[in-house]
Structures are given as structure tokens and as C-alpha cells.
Amino acid sequence: MVLKGGVLTKTGKVNRRSVFIHRDNQLLKRCTVCKQVRPLAEFNKNKSTPSGLEYFCKNCNVLRFRSYYKNNPDKCRAIANKSMHKHKDRMQARSIANHYYPIAKTCSIINCNDLGERHHEDYAKPKTIVWLCRKHHAGLCKNT
């Protein structure tokens, strides 16, 4: 439920900080950084905010992360290296699979014709992959 001057939250309270705007039967939101009014699809999700969306748009978020990386390159590289060493088997399996299967195939699930992603059931066998579309891949990996 959208109210003038605020948003009704799940608890029934009105939040006046996050204002949605109606225009041409479309919900819009103002970015707090660039101050432009944009569709809700141009904001990343964030469960901790009352609206469920970030306060700044995706474009401003990209600029923010680029700026952070530019100012903290060593810290960002250290985080990336730590992740690579933690998941070394995954990284090697993906690299081998990318080499042997450079062209994507359709999803292996019956009646699904979407373009597939490589899924490894066992990273020790990098050439053994299953092609799954994004929806089925996310559902499978979420359950494991």
C-alpha cells in the first residue's frame, strides 16, 4: 500500500524517508545520490531497508564500488585471493569446463528450452557437467 509522503511498512507504520512516486501507472523511486527518479527495477534489493530496496540506484552503486576499489585496491585483491584459495577446486573445475565447453547449450530439464549454465555435481570431475538454466541452477544450488 502506497501513501502520499511515505510507505506503509509490514508493521503498519508509515516510513516517510523512502518515498515511492506514481507516474503513468508505474512505481518510481528517487535515488539519494544522483537525485533522479527511476523505476524500481533500477534499484538493488536490500531487506534491511523499509522499502526493501537500496537508497541509491544501480548506476550509483557501480560508481560507488569502482571508487572503493580505486581507493582500496590491496584490500579488494586480498579478499579476492582469499576467496580463490578457499574455493580452489571450484575455480579449477570452472576453468576446465570453460575450455572444454565454450558454447552454452539448452537446459537439461525436460520442457525447458532456456540457455543453460554449467553445473558441477562433483568438482573433482570437472569435465562432467549438467546444463541448467539460471532458474533451475539457482534452485538446485539453493537446496544443497
Q: Using 50, 70 and 90 to split pLDDT, how confident is the model at 144?
A: low
Shortest CA distance to 7 belongs to which of 44, 34, 42, 40?
40
DSSP secondary structure of 52-118: SB-SS-HHHHHHHHHHHHHH-HHHHHHHHHHHHHHTHHHHHHHHHHHHH--S--B-SSTT--SBPEE
pLDDT digits (tens, 9 = 90+) for 53-105: 999 999 999 999 999 999 999 999 999 999 999 999 999 998 999 899 888 88
pTM of the model: 0.55
CB 106 within 8 A of CB 115: yes
User: Could you tell me the three cell numbers for 127?
Assistant: 569435465
Q: Which residue type occupies 44?
A: N
pLDDT in tens, 103-129: 888 988 888 888 888 998 898 998 999
- Cross-strand partners of 22: 27
